[in-house]
Amino acid sequence: GEDVEQSLFLSVREGDSSVINCTYTDSSSTYLYWYKQEPGAGLQLLTYIFSNMDMKQDQRLTVLLNKKDKHLSLRIADTQTGDSAIYFCAETPGTYKYIFGTGTRLKVLA
């Protein structure tokens, strides 16, 4: 099947690190993405990683890619209340073919 799996909920305290995990299915994806969805809004691209990379750092965000296990993770350092949102990973096994995960709802407690 083509299910991209994520855990549904994550709760962290403000200032802690958050780690959101994703298991994808298609090893032919050239890029893997993380999108953020705030309440009542559409998705916005947070970051992406090229499939030949193991890690990408972008300010407070660190993306780790384990191609052998088809595992993608997003780490948010120093998590703030403004980071509360739903986070989606996505793979792109072909042009025009975007497969989104189920989304992880991150709640940041003050």
Partner 1 sequence: NAGVTQTPKFQVLKTGQSMTLQCAQDMNHNSMYWYRQDPGMGLRLIYYSASEGTTDKGEVPNGYNVSRLNKREFSLRLESAAPSQTSVYFCASSDPGLAGGDEQFFGPGTRLTVL
* Binding footprint of partner 1 on the chain (CB under 8 A): 4, 8, 30-31, 33, 35, 40-45, 48, 50, 88, 92, 95-98, 100-103
* Separation CA 62–CA 109 (nearest Å): 21
SS3 81: helix
Sign of the dihedral defined by the CA atoms of residues 48, 53, 58, 60, in that order: positive
Which residue's CB is nearer to partner 1, number 5 or number 78? 5
CB of 105 to partner 1, least distance (A): 10
Residues in a beta bridge with 92: none
- Residue whose CB is less far from partner 1, 20 or 35: 35
Q: How near is the Cβ of 99 to partner 1 at its closest, in Å?
A: 8
| Cβ at position 23, least distance to partner 1 in Å | 13
Please identify, using beta-carbon distances, which residue of 8 and 110 lies nearer to partner 1: 8
DSSP helix, strand, coil percent of the chain (3-state; round to 5): 5, 60, 40
